[in-house]
Amino acid sequence: MSRPAFDPATYDAQLAEKRARLVELLAPFAAPEPVVFDSPREHYRMRAEFRLWREDGQRHYAMFAPGDKHTPILLDDFPIASLRINELMPRLRAAWQASEALSFKLFQVEFLTTLAGDALITLAYHRPLDEAWQAEAEKLAAELNVSLVGRSRGQRLVIGRDYVEEELNVAGRSFRYRQPEGAFTQPNGRVCEKMLGWAYDVLGERDDDLLELYCGNGNFTLPLATRVRRVLATEISKTSVNAALANLADNGVDNVELVRLSAEELTQALNEVRPFRRLAGVDLKSYEFGSVFVDPPRAGMDPDTCELTRRFERILYISCNPETLAANIAQLNDTHKVTRSALFDQFPYTHHMEAGVLLERR
């Protein structure tokens, strides 16, 4: 099967279609025209995952069309992935072709890279990893100047670091981020910078406090914390919480309190439905929240969390699913109006898009 269509000549037309779809979704709420933030046309994706497919006695990088796990699309390069991934792909393939210890029962490869040039490769196996693998992997990591993670059932061996280091510039300041292997990070680095800049600008300089739900590794937390007095941020993933704490320390951001709670649990805590041990020592009543920032998963905010955000003067909402964004706005529309909107093209050549809105109390 041939590789998926990749034609930068179609980019502008696809982006115009996405803009029209977002305008249509936000039309019932009298939203202003969205600001559109485009993507680089190629080499924009900082991470990529490939299955390996045996053909003619060799393993090849492969991807599959949605719903078809039997017809591989064999790849030598991947133009939408970062230049660093494209540089590493043939070198890694040559390494496993030359080494039985590296290739035996290897079935999946993941690349994680950054705009700052860092790289981590995860190799997944259907067998236990032994000393021979470790020795070959250490040599390979040195040759490629990458960190390596080997995974098999019940095993995770790390050579170097189990994260990459990114550097993103927002409003003239550079922020450093640890991005852990296996944890969520925004895939399009340049568009991520544009998202951070937009959110920073829209929040504005405030003399009150910010509540942040779904904070991940602190991607938005770091720049937004410089705009407010204090931040209370929540995240449920342990890996992301640990990365966020490291990122706050690395950047000298000291006005953020991070708690490992889901958005639903924090809603219960603020409504005094029940106490949480993880909130011991956190004086919720000392916060003067003026704004809430949310970046929920594709399902959007659950109804109770949506009701919680209604209490705030400003709701700054980043969404990876404009349909659930529109559903959440419909729930809030009687008390809040959309005053700013944006389209971020995180995922060129697909129907997916990222959107942002600011809702302010009527």
- 58 among the known binding-site residues? no
Please name the residue that has the structure tokens 């590789």: 3
**Three-state secondary structure of 283-312:** CHHHCCEEEEEECCCCCCCCHHHHHHHCCC
Q: Pairing between strand 72-75 and 354-361?
A: unpaired
- Backbone dihedral angles phi then psi of residue 314, each to the nearest 5 degrees: -130, 135
Q: Of the listed 181, 192, 354, 360, which one is catalytic?
A: 354
Cα(212)–Cα(210) distance, rounded to whole angstroms?
A: 6
Nearest to 110 by CA among 191, 164, 43: 164
- Backbone dihedral angles phi then psi of residue 291, each to the nearest 5 degrees: -135, 155
DSSP assignment, residue 103? H
161: helix, strand or coil: coil
- 108 among the known binding-site residues? no
Q: Of the listed 193, 320, 323, 360, which one is catalytic?
A: 320
Cα(326)–Cα(257) distance, rounded to whole angstroms?
A: 30
**DSSP code per residue over 264-280:** HHHHHHHTTSS--GGGT
Does the active-site annotation cover 354?
yes
Alpha helices in 53-104 (DSSP H): 83-97, 100-103
Cα(140)–Cα(142) distance, rounded to whole angstroms?
A: 5
Does the active-site annotation cover 320?
yes
- 219 among the known binding-site residues? yes
Q: Pairing between strand 209-213 and 289-294?
A: parallel
- 177 among the known binding-site residues? no
Cα(92)–Cα(85) distance, rounded to whole angstroms?
A: 10
- 186 among the known binding-site residues? yes
Contacts of 188 (CB under 8 A, 6+ apart): 39, 44, 45, 46, 345, 346, 347
Cα(90)–Cα(77) distance, rounded to whole angstroms?
A: 8
Q: Which residues are annotated as a binding site for S-adenosyl-L-methionine?
A: 186, 214, 219, 235, 295
Q: Which residues are annotated as a binding site?
A: 186, 214, 219, 235, 295
Indicate which residues carry an active-site annotation: 320, 354
